[in-house]
Amino acid sequence: MSRRPWRIISSGAMACSPAWRWPSAIPPIGHAVPGMIPDRRAREITAAMNLLAGNENLPGAPAPAASGARFGWRLDEVSGALGDIGTFLPHIVGAITVVGMDPTGLFVTFGLFYIFAGCFYGIPMAVQPMKAASAAVLIQPMDPGSVAGAGLAIGAFFFLLGISGLIGSVARALPSTVAAGLQLGLGLSLAALGIRLIEGQPWIGILACVAMLGLMRFPRVPVALLAVLAGGMAGLATGLSPPLPALAPGLHLPGLVWPDWAQLWNGVQNAVLPQIPLTLTNAILVTAAVARDLFAERGGRATETNLALTTGLGNLLAAPFGGYLMCHGAGGMAGHVRFGARTATAPVLIGLCFLGLGLVLGEGGYHLLRTVPDGVLGGLLLLSGIDLALFSRPGRYQGSELFLVLLMAAIGVAVNPAVAFAIGLPLAWGIRLGWLRL
């Protein structure tokens, strides 16, 4: 049976000549790669997701996901669309204010990638800033050209990793303890970032957290939507937020940004190298494992190969137009599901919002989002970070494996995920082969 090139999905994809065949050593694009994170781990992550999302009565996917419908028109989807905004805004605000990036390019490219991810995968697939790279961008001396260089480099890396089939070899070389340690550390880091945002506005941050936890007892309440709207009004009323901007609607198009060689190298060494292990694990391997089990009927496209391809293509296409470093992520999916999303409607809705903010309002869209107080954003980020940490399920490991998971999480929080990966991977293989006992 012939296998056609560029077949990203099982059907309805780009057609090419049937005479061309894949080399036997390279799996066709879109096929799941064996030897990934064990199904038991995916089921455990799913069970935690269902418990946190209020679906305790279901052993697998939530009821709306089990119907097989790609789009759902419920108020929950509107709330779920805002479930990851606590991760999005702090990084984007920093990129605009510290690095000087154009808000139009950021919003337009994020919006288009979100819409594509929702339509292609058919589930609440997240699109979020690459966190390790984003931290480097905000800390290291980088400009928009360097960010564009980093986007082109990391986009090319993951696109080639996906289209060559090497994602399978890389994934099989990664013990599940490594992914669990990185995931636990990332969740704690996100929660810590949320706490730091709440510290600056403690009363509104604590009030937002208490209100959201109370409202989450009622599955159909759009918790994140109410938090953002109520928080924005409270911020304006108390002066915690900047005043509503004078908006100037029109057509705003992103400008072109092309790096020189110095900017390309600056982006690679400062942003790309620390980001690769985190994207490989959280944005590809863990996300695929969760999607396969949580959305059994509609998660088939969320294979490791497809996630690598869409991550690569998204960054390659966005970088020249002032886009930020973007990826998928288990944490982002947790945020969307946590606040009510069950179908592709949620990512399409938030994508349309970002697209409209960029094209219609331009820089005014950024100022409009800034009316949401940091304390509210911190509350969203705190709850999503705790969810992600819980999904790593460290309690299922014992002895040396548990020590390694906790060690990697501690290093990831104290230093960065890249260092945790570099230390944890050889230790994990030493434990697996019986050469090392911690």
Give 255-265 pLDDT, tens digit per residue. 999 999 999 99
Question: What pLDDT score was predicted for residue 116?
Answer: 96
Q: Is 23 left (phi over 0), alpha (psi -120 to 50) or beta?
A: beta
How confident is the model over 17-37, as a mean pLDDT?
A: 37
User: Pick from 315, 263, 314, 274: which is nearest to 99 by CA?
Assistant: 263
User: Pick from 53, 2, 49, 10: which is nearest to 29 by CA?
Assistant: 10
User: Pick from 242, 247, 255, 273: which is nearest to 150 by CA?
Assistant: 273
Question: What pLDDT score was predicted for residue 219?
Answer: 63
Alpha-carbon distance of 403 to 380, in angstroms, equals 30
* Span of 133-137, 248-252, 372-376 with lowest mean pLDDT: 133-137
User: CA-CA distances (angstroms) from residue 413 to 11, 163, 166, 382, 408?
Assistant: 42, 32, 29, 15, 9
Question: What pLDDT score was predicted for residue 20?
Answer: 34
Backbone Cα Rg of the chain: 21
Question: What pLDDT score was predicted for residue 169?
Answer: 79
Question: What pLDDT score was predicted for residue 385?
Answer: 77
What is the percent of the chain where pLDDT is above 70?
Answer: 80
Q: Where are the beta strands (DSSP E) in 231-382?
A: 326-327
Question: What pLDDT score was predicted for residue 61?
Answer: 35
User: In the block, which residue shows the tokens 């990036």?
Assistant: 101
How confident is the model over 263-268, as a mean pLDDT?
A: 90
φ, ψ at 372 (rounded to 5°): -75, 120
User: CA-CA distances (angstroms) from residue 212 to 88, 303, 336?
Assistant: 19, 33, 14
Question: What pLDDT score was predicted for residue 25?
Answer: 35
How confident is the model over 346-352, as a mean pLDDT?
A: 94
Report residue 339's pLDDT band, with 50, 70 and 90 as the boundaries.
confident
Q: Which residues of 411-428 are buried (b: 16+ CB within 10 A; e: fewer)?
A: bbbeebbbebbebbbebb
How confident is the model over 318-327, as a mean pLDDT?
A: 95
Model confidence at 149: pLDDT above 90 = yes
* Span of 190-204, 290-304, 393-407 with lowest mean pLDDT: 290-304
Model confidence at 333: pLDDT above 70 = yes
User: CA-CA distances (angstroms) from residue 267 to 30, 104, 138, 139, 150?
Assistant: 30, 21, 12, 12, 4
Whether 118 contacts 124, CB under 8 Å: yes
Whether 295 contacts 137, CB under 8 Å: no
Question: What pLDDT score was predicted for residue 243?
Answer: 83
Question: What pLDDT score was predicted for residue 84?
Answer: 82
**Amino acid identity, position 279:** T
**Is pLDDT larger for residue 224 or for residue 415?**
415
Question: What pLDDT score was predicted for residue 32?
Answer: 42
Residues pairing with 129 in the sheet: 326
Model confidence at 164: pLDDT above 70 = yes
Question: What pLDDT score was predicted for residue 22?
Answer: 34
Average pLDDT of the chain? 78
Question: What pLDDT score was predicted for residue 12?
Answer: 33
DSSP symbol at 371: T
User: Pick from 80, 65, 125: which is nearest to 307 by CA?
Assistant: 125
Question: What pLDDT score was predicted for residue 222?
Answer: 67
Whether 189 contacts 414, CB under 8 Å: no
Question: What pLDDT score was predicted for residue 197?
Answer: 85
**Is pLDDT larger for residue 149 or for residue 216?**
149
**Is pLDDT larger for residue 62 or for residue 235?**
235
pLDDT (tens digit, 9 = 90+) per residue, 46-68?
444 444 444 433 333 334 444 56
**Amino acid identity, position 128:** Q
pLDDT (tens digit, 9 = 90+) per residue, 73-114?
887 888 888 888 767 876 787 788 768 889 899 999 999 999
Model confidence at 27: pLDDT above 70 = no
**Amino acid identity, position 336:** H
